[in-house]
Amino acid sequence: MPHKIIGGNHENGMESFLVSIHNYNWFNTWSTAHGSISWRWLVKVFITGIAGFIGFHTANHYHSKGWEVTGIDNFNDYYDPKLKKDRADMLEKLGIRVYPVSLEQVQLGMSMFESVPDLVIHLAASAGIRHSLANPLESIRNNIIGTQKLINHCELLGVKNVIYASTSAVMNGNSLPWNEHDPIGVQVSPYGYTKQCNESQFAVSKINNTVGLRFFTVYGPWGRPDMALFDFTDKIVKGKPITIFNNGDMKRDFTYITDIVRGIWIVSQNMTERDIYCIGNGKQVELMDFVTEIERNIGNGKAEYDFQPMHPADAKETWSDTSKLEKLGYRSDTDVPEGVASFVNWYKNYYHV
């Protein structure tokens, strides 16, 4: 049965009750399941990759809900570290603690809590499907070995709830739309097989509740420079050609960042022993329509296109079946026109163009 995280290891006995009053703020929530008002204390979340794109927005959301948020990030140079530092600075101003620690040192980051975190959200990874083809050992070291170090430490501490990032890429080759129930086949990139491995790692771990989230093409303000929206916007603004694979004949399920974060939040309120969910927009968008939306918002006319054959690590189409997550109350609220406009507005403000 799904359950809500309501206080981790501080629920039993008068001594624990008094400790909880000392350590936590309180608020009351309406419990629809029991038809009565129940008291809950605010809980602690530890986020890996907290200065990354999704980590940054997730930390903001949990902080807005009153949770105590702490996280780690290794601030690598896969893309401009300034972007990560600026995200981290914004989090620090909110009182969110961000430690420059890698998964190799995860025990140091988690030791910053005075007690065991009620929830760990594992988002740290060597990202980028195409990047992983040229750097397979980096993907293995960070995504598999680093994740196992996190699992080992969570088991040692007695962490009961972990949400971790998987990817829609593990379903590449399956019939569309992609769902959680179909078997997973052979992966076409190191990124894909490391994420497939992560699902197995958490499935056999001793952690009570672990839930994996298969993200579909996440985009929005503060996004990653290697992703299509950021890359295309940056090059169009600078008058450079944009590289378009498979001659533009591709479709993607583009998912806005606030929808992703909402999905994470909903899952954290409905933790189960072992589960997987797809988080996407649930709609396909033609790649060239996506490009047209970027051009329209930038306002510099049409871009120069550099059409290329299909990239070996790419899927021609993605499309999420989110019906399983929708049963928990999820819905995708932001479609591409609104999402692209929001990103381009952020880009112009951030880079003063």
11 in a structural domain: no
Q: Is residue 353 part of a domain?
A: no
Q: Is the model more confident about 46 or about 35?
A: 46
How many of the other CB atoms lie within 10 Å of CB of 320? 28
Q: Which of 62, 79, 164, 191 is catalytic?
A: 191
pLDDT value of residue 13:
33
Residue 161 within a domain? yes
The model's pTM is 0.89
60 closest CA partner among 9, 111, 94, 36: 94
- In residues, how long is the chain? 353
Task: Transcribe 237-271 into DSSP letters.
Answer: HTT--EEEEGGG--EE--EEHHHHHHHHHHHHTSB
148-163: pLDDT as tens digits? 999 999 999 999 999 9
Question: Is the pLDDT assigned to residue 27 strictly greater than 70?
Answer: no
Domain range for residue 160? 19-219+254-282+321-334
Residues 6+ apart with CB under 8 A from 215: 54, 165, 166, 167, 168, 255, 260, 279, 280
Question: Looking at the domain assignment, is residue 121 inside a domain?
Answer: yes
pLDDT class of 19 with cuts at 50, 70, 90: very low
> What is the rounded distance in angstroms from the CA atom of residue 87 to the CA atom of residue 75?
11
Which pLDDT band, with edges at 50, 70 and 90, does 33 fall under?
A: very low
Q: Does residue 113 lie in a domain region?
A: yes
Comparing CA positions, the residue from 316, 308, 181 lying closest to residue 249 is 316
Q: Which two tokens stand for residue 174?
A: 């399956």
pLDDT tens profile 281-317: 999 999 999 999 999 999 988 999 999 999 998 999 9
Does residue 8 fall inside a structural domain? Answer: no
- The DSSP H or E segment spanning 1 is none
Could you confirm whether 350 is annotated as catalytic? no
Residue 33 domain-assigned (yes or no): yes
Eight-class DSSP state of 4: -
CATH for 114 = 3.40.50.720
The total of structural domains in the chain comes to 1
Q: Establish if 287 belongs to a structural domain.
A: no
